[in-house]
A and B are shown apart, each in its own frame.
Chain A
């Protein structure tokens, strides 16, 4: 079984568990926080006068007393259309979302590494593109005011990189005689972890569909392979070289940036919503492949399916 299929399987299991959690813990008949008001039964249109106790004689009419009012039945009111399922005010306590999907876009970056070759400085220029890869995350929050919740988010992504390399390699026998080389390397791994403090605002979209808009500062940590040396073949007289790949080292670092997105859910039960999430995050970190600085953009655009629990 591949890692990817294992991950997909785990996502399914996670979703089921989350669903079970919602079904087990939410009381029967309880409304999700967004629907509690809208589905509350309308008050009866009965008179508010209390009925006399059984057996009590009817009071004689007291000429001194004002005539008791009798509430005449109001004419039937035309039935209004149902209001939106989510009222303007969300009265739940909080939410939690787990999501899994793909990182569909990420900032590309360039890096330059100088390394020693044949008693001179060789140069490696790398232009790296992050490939599509799986992302997983969770976010949650507690409502603090109206539809506003404050919470935290956590996410991980596992992607690979495609690196276009150009380089200048010194000649083994002569100083200041460089050979140009170019090529493409792939399969360099990248793992990102994101922690964010988020403000989320809940919006009712349809009767059973609502959406969180969220944003906040994020700390993004990356652990990734970066090209540190060009691999090549050469043969006498060494005037040209052939690119075969890159040597890489795993470097890590992190930076504070931003994250924002939207999470749309269809409420399949009273406590569980299923939907999708769009998240964009960005931070800029300085990594040090071969102990030389390189500015790397972190984050990117993520599309996920999500399961939401409202409580």
Chain B
């Protein structure tokens, strides 16, 4: 017989090869997703008919109808897909109508669902599983919902869906209704990081939250919620809020459409508040203002810049050219002046634009929830000094040491004005007419007994303990610990001022408290104790 290959031989061989090919599961398996996008009149008529039939058959259920806020007369109805009475997760139709006439139908419907929808587990069983897994107990209103879950790899599974808010994340779990396994989960925490331009035209990251398509200045990534409100120049509303007569809501929160923020005041207030929280946490382990993660709220644009010329002097000094801590975790940042406007020979920018100012105000909150230093006379000066010290410490923590804008130094508020100036100097208080020695303290009644002036005494003590040097008044020399060890002096002052001082503390008590803190932290006779002792002595506090 010839060796001619007959067709049957080839066929068998091909079958043989075919049978050896690897078996791969289909990407979609039996799951079918039918996308719907109907806008033509004929299609819409068909879909209206289909929807009517599907509603009658229980395949879809209307979730409700909303009026269109942008196009008058339009309504939008959402219909969820159901299979034997169980919602099909993700299956949905959206019907737009104009005066009752359907204009469009969009949606996605799953086909080929074939499941026994009788679950083995009850919602309570699943809640127990979730609690065991996450430690979070679900309330009655958060009971797991039975759904048909289309699986990424194809097919469907009967599962319970539950949204669980844990300490660091909001997670949606899908638990198999038969065996309790987690079949899918994802984070539902819609926090985002955007970028923004600060007051000095620098670029910062801002932690925001996406709600209804708009980015809000709500930082949900840090343990406390941090809000930045834009009061849009409504001073009346600002004051009502500060007095607890109105509450602010999402519409008051600073917002941005694309998360590329251009509101410089809001960017700096929001970012710097977060950084200040970070500093207190990382340096001292403190959980926010009250050490219990109190919500922090910053208010920007309490007034309108263009109204500055007609503002009263008190409004100008408080809401334009100042920043203050209003209690309850609320900070208000002055609006500054419009470009070209000059007060005191200076142009003034948004007050949230200086990191040391933001940290200063927030530190008032720390004091409020710790020593509670009474804001008058010596205790008031110590209150101010502690805010200056922490404000400067935060600046050194996040910025490069140097002179100029956005540099860390011992000046307060130097980033706010043009030409560059400052409110106070810790290195040389006398340069801003503040005392650098106890003997030169202000004893009058203005400014609550000179709280913003006499703070210079403690400020200078902090500076000398770090950097060393000679007090200009006493001539006494201090051997500082050096800038590389600045954190040690920061910890001493933090410990002394938040842990030891009473509300009506004096400078002498501040000396004793910080010396005790130095001994606690670094030992008696340590370089730190010596520096603290020499510094207070140099500024005349014994």
List residues of chain A with CB under 8 Å of any chain B CB: 3, 6-7, 10-11, 13-15, 17-18, 20-21, 24-27, 30, 33, 92-94, 96, 98, 100, 118-119, 134, 136, 138, 154, 156-158, 172-175, 191, 235-238, 309, 311
Contacts and interface: CB of A to CB of B under 8 A. Distances in A.
A174 B205 contact: yes
Given A3-B23, A136-B20, A311-B5, A119 B12 contact: no
B57 to A, nearest CB: 37
Interface of A is mostly: mixed
A119 B194 CA distance: 6
Nearest to B22: A158
A299 to B, nearest CB: 17
A100 B205 CA distance: 56
Contacts of B3: 30, 33, 92-93, 311
Contacts of A94: 5
16 contacts: A3-B24, A7-B20, A7-B22, A13-B19, A14-B17, A21-B12, A24-B9, A30-B3, A93-B5, A94-B5, A118-B205, A138-B20, A157-B22, A172-B207, A236-B168, A236-B221
Contacts of A25: 5-6, 8-9
B281 interface: yes
Interface of B: 1, 3, 5-6, 8-9, 12-13, 15-17, 19-24, 167-168, 193-195, 203-205, 207, 221-223, 271, 274-275, 278, 281-282, 398
Contact of A7 (B8, B23, B195, B278): B23
- Shortest Cβ-Cβ A-B pairs, 9 listed: A27-B1, A14-B16, A21-B12, A136-B20, A10-B19, A118-B193, A158-B22, A17-B16, A25-B9
B274 A173 contact: yes
B154 to A, nearest CB: 15
A237 B278 contact: yes
Nearest to B219: A173
Given A18-B16, A20-B12, A174-B205, A236 B5 contact: no
A234 to B, nearest CB: 8
Contacts of A21: 8-9, 12-13, 16
Given A11-B20, A24-B9, 17 more contacts: A3-B23, A7-B20, A7-B23, A13-B19, A14-B15, A25-B6, A25-B8, A33-B3, A92-B3, A98-B17, A100-B20, A119-B193, A158-B24, A173-B274, A191-B24, A235-B167, A237-B278
Contacts of B13: 17-18, 21, 96, 98, 138, 309
Contacts of B205: 118-119, 172-175
A100 B22 CA distance: 10
Contacts of A136: 17, 20-22
Given A7-B20, A136-B22, A191-B24, A172 B5 contact: no
Nearest to A175: B205
B224 to A, nearest CB: 10
Nearest to B16: A14
Contacts of A134: 22
Contacts of B194: 119
Contacts of A175: 203-205
Contacts of A236: 168, 221-223, 281
B492 to A, nearest CB: 23
Nearest to A118: B193
A21 B9 CA distance: 6
B498 to A, nearest CB: 20
Nearest to A171: B205
Interface of B is mostly: mixed
Contacts of A309: 13
A237 to B, nearest CB: 6
A69 B290 CA distance: 133
Nearest to A13: B19
A3 B25 CA distance: 9
A138 B17 contact: yes
A219 to B, nearest CB: 18
B223 to A, nearest CB: 6
Contacts of B207: 172-173
Contacts of B222: 236
A137 B475 CA distance: 93
Nearest to A15: B16
Most buried by B among A13, A14, A158: A14
Contact of A17 (B6, B15, B168): B15
B520 to A, nearest CB: 25
Contact of A237 (B23, B24, B282, B398): B282
Contacts of B15: 14, 17
Nearest to A28: B1
A136 B194 CA distance: 51
Contacts of A10: 19-20, 23
A6 B23 contact: yes
Contacts of B23: 3, 6-7, 10
A158 B205 CA distance: 44
A274 to B, nearest CB: 14
Nearest to A117: B193
Contacts of A138: 13, 17, 20
A36 B21 CA distance: 34
A6 B22 CA distance: 9
Given A235-B168, A237-B281, A98 B275 contact: no
Nearest to A234: B168
